[in-house]
Amino acid sequence: MSANASTGRLPRRTFLRGMGSVIALPMLFSLPARLLANTTAPATPFGCTPAGNPLRVGFIYHPNGVIHENWFPASAGALKQLPPTLEPLSELREHVQVLSGLKHDNANGNGDGAGDHARANATFLTGAQARKTGGEDIMAGTSIDQVLARKMEGVTPLPSLELSCSSRRKTGSCDSGYSCAYQYNLSWRTPNSPNMPEVNPRMAFERLFGANNAQERHLVAQRWARRQSVLDGVRDDTRRLYRQVSVDERGKLEAYLEAVRSVESRIQTNLDAPRPPEDYDAPVGVPPDHSAYLDAMFDLLALAYSTDSTRVATLMLAHDGSDQTFPEIDVRGSHHQLSHHENDAEKIENLKRIDRFYMEAYSRFLTKLANTPDGESSKLIDSCLLVYGGGISDGNRHNHDNLPVLLAGSGGGQIKGGQHVRYNDTPMCNFYVDLARRFGVELDSFGDSTGQLKLA
């Protein structure tokens, strides 16, 4: 068992180690000081709330636009009544801001013709105009998550975490002559190097709790084959830890380990599940039920945040132009097909149900964060700044102004929730400049920004 601290005040990272497993734990305030002797993560002004707790930033991508009448509140100000799509957030409204009037001009063709879906994904976190190419000479921009992640090198085990509930693609031509790299990746390490996301819950789980060398990877493979738990290898360490923490924190520790095992069990259940026919390249382990797939990825993200394994993450619910189907909610037709609704009432109603389906999954995630302790007197959601939105506003029009954007969490008291804030045709990148500064990264500009948004 080992522990590290990212500030001189709190034990930030405690690990349980076993053959083929490394379990990072939440903050445990009652651990004896001797366990904190090996402090390797330096104190940093970056990625912290004003009180010094870890500040988690996330970007969750919603594809194919939304139906505005069910998404945007009728008026600015307090969120007294949420529109139908956002109703799943009713119990969480104090933690949420609805932002309207934000735009990405560089997602427009600007002389390059068709390809709005590819540009929507490529521009969403970069603010850059993607070079129109189906070859290897791709060019977008460094994404805002990676600007923040660079400050996390040596501070968290993973400077950033990239997840997706779509397929992985980096080559080929996908949308009107644009490389698939644009459409399937949100995070860009450099303007011509996307960070390919992990799409398999099992592999994402191993990034958080797996082995670091060939011998241990062999043990990991054996463990999955035998349907054993990652917790089995750390039982002795766990027993010792129970004796060293306070009675109150034993409950916190038990709840966390139960959450790890719950996620792992669901992943194991899906190892033998058949691949969905519409996802020809979906790897073994991806749940055939899309709702379960979303929950698995959200749960892994919550575990990553709660253990301070990373403070910067992206999650693509589906790539723009996705043909995902939704038999769980009895919607006929694929999302992309329906998004070209041409004002057909039945298609619009189906799209409203899809928008809400994704929002219900997001609500389950935020509820988990709101119920997870973070420190001695706060919840995990309190130290988050989570951006939920998409690069297309109306799927029928393929426009990139008045984007659907939500901000959840207060960043440690920096942001006031429970309101709808309207902006006037403002670059999304102005928002990112403000977000970066709250993370401790001073940016004069980013992408096509014209200033700083200055969130309330």
pLDDT at 40: 41
CA 87 from chain centre, in angstroms, equals 21
- Identify the band that residue 4 occupies on the pLDDT scale cut at 50, 70 and 90: very low
Residue type, 367: T
Instruction: Please check the confidence at residue 216 and state whether its pLDDT lies above 80.
Output: no
Instruction: Kindly state the helix (H) or strand (E) to which residue 179 belongs, with its residue range.
Output: strand 178-179
- Could you tell me which residue, 44 or 363, shows the higher pLDDT? 363
Instruction: Please check the confidence at residue 114 and state whether its pLDDT lies above 50.
Output: yes
pLDDT at 249: 84
Q: Alpha-carbon dihedral of residues 352, 354, 358, 363, nearest 10 degrees?
A: 50
DSSP state of 50: T
Instruction: Kindly state the helix (H) or strand (E) to which residue 100 belongs, with its residue range.
Output: strand 96-103
> Is residue 147 within 8 Å of 441, Cβ to Cβ?
yes
Residue type, 354: I
pLDDT at 34: 47
- Identify the band that residue 72 occupies on the pLDDT scale cut at 50, 70 and 90: very high
pLDDT at 190: 97
Specify the 3-state DSSP secondary structure of 146.
Answer: helix
Distance CA 189, CA 197 (A): 12
Domain range 48-199+289-299+309-456, CATH class:
alpha beta
**Where are the CATH 3.40.720.10 domain residues in the chain?**
48-199+289-299+309-456
CA 385 from chain centre, in angstroms, equals 11
Specify the 3-state DSSP secondary structure of 316.
Answer: strand
- Identify the band that residue 233 occupies on the pLDDT scale cut at 50, 70 and 90: confident
Distance CA 399, CA 108 (A): 7
- Identify the band that residue 2 occupies on the pLDDT scale cut at 50, 70 and 90: very low
What is the value of pTM for the model shown? Answer: 0.91
- Write the pLDDT tens digit of every residue in 372-405: 988 777 899 999 999 999 999 999 999 999 999 9
- Write the pLDDT tens digit of every residue in 19-48: 567 788 887 777 665 444 333 444 567 899
pLDDT at 13: 55
pLDDT at 12: 44
- Write the pLDDT tens digit of every residue in 334-357: 999 999 999 999 999 999 999 999
- Give the residue carrying structure tokens 């522990």: 3
Instruction: Kindly state the helix (H) or strand (E) to which residue 315 belongs, with its residue range.
Output: strand 312-316
